[in-house]
Amino acid sequence: MTDPFTLAMVLIAALALMGQSIGISMLVGSFVYLMLKGYDVSIAAETMMQGLFNGYTLLAVPLFILAADIMNIGSLADKLLRFAQALVGRFRGGLGHVNVVSSLIFSGMSGSAVADAVGMGKIVITMMTKDGKYTPSYAAAITAATAIVGPIIPPSIPMVLYALVSGQSVGFLFAAGILPGLLMALLMAVTNGVIAHRRGFPVDDGIPLRELPGATWQAIPALMLPVILLGGIYGGVMTPTEAAAVAAAYALVISVVLYRSVSARGLYQALLGSARSTASVGILIAGALAFNYVVTRENVPDSVAAMLSAMDLGPVGFLIAVNILFLVLGCVLEAGALLLIVVPILIPAAQALGIDLVHFGVVLVVNAMLGLITPPYGLLLFIVAAITKQPLIPIIKDLVPFIAILIVALMVITFCPDFVLYLPRLLGYQG
């Protein structure tokens, strides 16, 4: 007779390959496992309810999604884009640099790579391809690459998901993402500059320096959002979940009152879009909670930890193996599924090897974000291809230099834990 766990795994893989949601696939596989084992299937529902009830931090996810959607319907993106253009738009390949800087700023508000690509990215792509200054494939490639900085720089929805399964502090995870995110943005800006000179991209008509103060003044309300959020979290004024609520309320207030750019219909569409995105994430989390119960019953985490201990990899070898595993799985699995399914299996082994779990979280989130731009699944690839109406092949070719430099950044993040943990330790982290 086929082992119930093996059958559940095969069923999950088969449903996912047929195009079913990975969350629903995990729910179906978990129910089948429980039935074949003779357990009460209500255990799955109880596990999901307990996980969601105890996961107060999870409330941050729909609130950050709502904040990002409100920013996209308001004129926040336009104000931030003009500020970025005034700052770096005058250099060769300037709109590429604007793409990097605008993503870096927008990421401090939305926490979502998809929100960045759909909102800010769509505007920058239009600017880059206007008058044929940049090829559509290059505009799409750099937009996809820069968007992955969003979930590294706080706030970050993937960091919240990692905190859920690892039990680590969201605040310290947010702090640990700042320097790695800045490093990734810097390396992408350098890469864009090199490509711009090699391919003869134009020196764009940047906004004159005399207009920089005005552009900055217009952008200040939007630029203050990450300051308020991070200041509130690290000052002990609010929890990350409360900060997410503040982000959504602040985005709505400045969009409606200061910028006067949100209509009732636009707000309705934002609320509807946020509800749909939250439902999608919620199903994934529910499926992962049920499947994690199955994995725990089968002692998979302990078995993996024992296997890795027997291999005597050591911390460095383990981190190399995890990077390779995540880069491969990221080609076929969605980032949230990676963090919710694979991480609980790896945590015991990481702890046994003495690897700091906050540092480990940043490494895993960066890996998961790279999966958004690697074929064949890369979600951001499909988003930017739809925006530019370009085939995937030329976009992927233009993405190769950015993927290569981001892997270099990943290596620095992986093997320099003191670099990643510098800011958390300043804030009192004892790791």
How many angstroms separate the CA atoms of 334 and 114, rounded?
12
Mean pLDDT of the chain: 81
pLDDT of amino acid 265: 85
Averaged pLDDT for residues 71-84: 72
Could you tell me if 148 and 374 are in contact, meaning their C-beta atoms sit under 8 angstroms apart? no
Considering only CA atoms, which of 89, 111, 113 is closest in space to residue 101?
A: 89
Residue 112 corresponds to which tokens in the numbers above? 């979502």
| CA distances, 329 to each of 157, 248, 335, 360 (Å) | 20, 33, 9, 17
Q: Residue 92: beta bridge partners?
A: 203
pLDDT of amino acid 129: 80
Q: Is 307 exposed, middle or buried (0-12, 13-18, 19+ CB in 10 A)?
A: exposed
SS3 203: strand
Q: What is the pLDDT of residues 369-409, one digit of tens each?
A: 898 888 776 778 887 888 788 888 899 999 999 999 999 99
Helix axis angle for 240-253 and 170-199, nearest 10°, is 50
Residue 117's pLDDT band (cuts 50, 70, 90): confident
Q: Is the pLDDT assigned to residue 169 strictly greater than 80?
A: yes
Helix axis angle for 136-147 and 94-110, nearest 10°, is 30
Per-residue burial over 79-97, b if 16 or more Cβ lie within 10 Å, else e, is bbbbbbbbbbbbbebbbbb
How many angstroms separate the CA atoms of 377 and 83, rounded?
34
